[in-house]
Amino acid sequence: MILIRAARANDAMAIAQVHVAAWHAALDAYVPTLMRESVELGRYRAMWESLLGPHADSHATLVATDNDDTLVGFATAGRRTASIPGFDCELHTLYVAPRFQRRNIGCRLFHDLAVKMCADACRSMATTVIDTPQARGFFSAMGGTLVGSQSISAPPGGREPVMDLFTWQPLMPQQLETKI
């Protein structure tokens, strides 16, 4: 049984492990080497320690755990950290450990985070993601509207990843309940 709960400060290392493993599994084929090499456990552990410690009040972070409380996925969003003009909040990350994917965990994390954001008076949400078939399929299934794509700069000789912008306007998590 998978449980969804609020992240705790002591989840930082487990979130970092899932983040790095899932990021590499999903994106290594789509990004340049320098970008791949920058996604490493020590750096992400420090980031998550900060996000779940001193900066926890600026983000909502949910985690998915299995029967033995092993962390298998997470999602984070924020109102005060939204960087996309015209939207109340931004979905920053949503990852599920590779061996736990395709089990509805990502859908549940997205839904519960959307409910949490709505409870915080968020009426619209946006996210930017590296364009992959899996990301497009997932965020479209979650009711997102793809409103644009843009290449981002890559080092010379590197592949230029494409970033997709998905929006939910209005953000209505009850519409997702039939999908989870």
Q: Which domain holds residue 56?
A: 3-179
Per-residue pLDDT, 158? 60
Per-residue pLDDT, 31? 78
Per-residue pLDDT, 104? 93
Which tens digits make up the pLDDT trace of 55-76? Answer: 778 889 999 999 888 999 999 9
Per-residue pLDDT, 45? 95
Q: Report residues of the chain scoring pLDDT below 50.
A: 180
Report the CATH number at residue 62: 3.40.630.30
Which tens digits make up the pLDDT trace of 105-117? Answer: 999 999 999 999 9
Number of separate domains in the chain: 1
Per-residue pLDDT, 157? 54
DSSP the chain: --EEEE--GGGHHHHHHHHHHHHHHHHGGGS-HHHHHH--HHHHHHHHHHHHTTTGGG-EEEEEE-TT--EEEEEEEESTT--STT-SEEEEEEEE-GGGTTSSHHHHHHHHHHHHHHHTT---EEEEEE--HHHHHHHHHTT-EEEEEEE----TTS---EEEEEEESS--GGGGGGG-
